[in-house]
Amino acid sequence: MSSYGKIIRKKDLSILQKTYIPEILKGLRITIRQMFRPTFTSQFPEERFKPDSSFRGRPVLVVENGVERCVACGLCARVCPALAIEVQAAETELEKERYPLKFEINMVRCIFCGFCEEVCPEEAIVMSDEYLLVFSSQEEALFGKEKLLKSTEDLKERLEFLRSHR
């Protein structure tokens, strides 16, 4: 790459270069060498890509000691730019006093911005590393509490990432 950025005029070329043939052979050498290099393709359904902890997959509710952390404050529903989250609060005997009776994310609307995770005071809703979302109807895309709950062990990497980037 010694000539990179220099203007090459036709009169500067040697006779051999003007015949194109050695230059074409050089190019052929490069393409043939390229053929035997390892490919970057990942064979999708068999080979799954494991995202980094900074990846924002579908949002999930964190479950700690068998109970979700969520106190149903409604901030996530408030901040959601796509209006995808719906929360209904109820009272409970536990220390946190409130829990979500209904927590529903419309996954057709969700834009994976991660605002809900950022705004949550309890670190109760985080973005997981799941990216395979397939629905065949609008109703199927409404993820209720049963689909959203995920234990802390499964979300360890993301929670650590969030703490180190606070």
Partner 1 sequence: MDLISILILLAKILIIMFGVLVLGAAMAVLAERRVSGFIQERLGPNRVGPCGILQPFADVAKLMMKEDIVPSKANRFIHDLAPIISISVALSTFAIIPFGNTIELFGRQIKLIIADVDIGILYLLALTSIGVYGVSLAGWSSNNKYSLLGGLRSSAQLISYELSMGLSLIGVIMICGTLRLDQIVLHQTEYFWGVIPKWNIFLQPLGFITFLIASFAETNRLPFDLPEAEPELVGGYHTEYTGMKFGLFFLAEYANVITSSAVTVTLFLGGWHLPFIEHLGLSPLVLSLLQILTFLTKVILLVLFFIIVRWTIPRFRYDQLMRIGWKVMLPIAIVNFLITGIVMLFLL
Q: Name the residues that contact partner 1, by CB under 8 A.
A: 21, 24, 27-28, 30-32, 34-41
Is residue 93 within 8 A of residue 139, CB to CB? The reply is no
* Min CB(70)–partner 1 separation in Å: 43
* Min CB(34)–partner 1 separation in Å: 5
Name the residue nearer to partner 1 (CB basis): 24 or 94.
24
Name the residue nearer to partner 1 (CB basis): 39 or 164.
39
* Min CB(46)–partner 1 separation in Å: 11
For residue 87, give the 3-state DSSP assignment.
Answer: strand
Instruction: Compute φ and ψ for 111, nearest 5 degrees.
Output: -110, 10
* Min CB(50)–partner 1 separation in Å: 20
Is residue 57 within 8 A of residue 64, CB to CB? The reply is no
Name the residue nearer to partner 1 (CB basis): 45 or 121.
45
What is d(CA 150, CA 147) in angstroms, rounded to the nearest whole number? 8
Name the residue nearer to partner 1 (CB basis): 8 or 139.
8
Region of 129 (left: φ > 0; alpha: ψ -120 to 50; beta: rest) is alpha
Name the residue nearer to partner 1 (CB basis): 41 or 164.
41
Strands 59-64 and 125-127: antiparallel
CA 110 centroid distance within chain: 13
* Min CB(141)–partner 1 separation in Å: 29
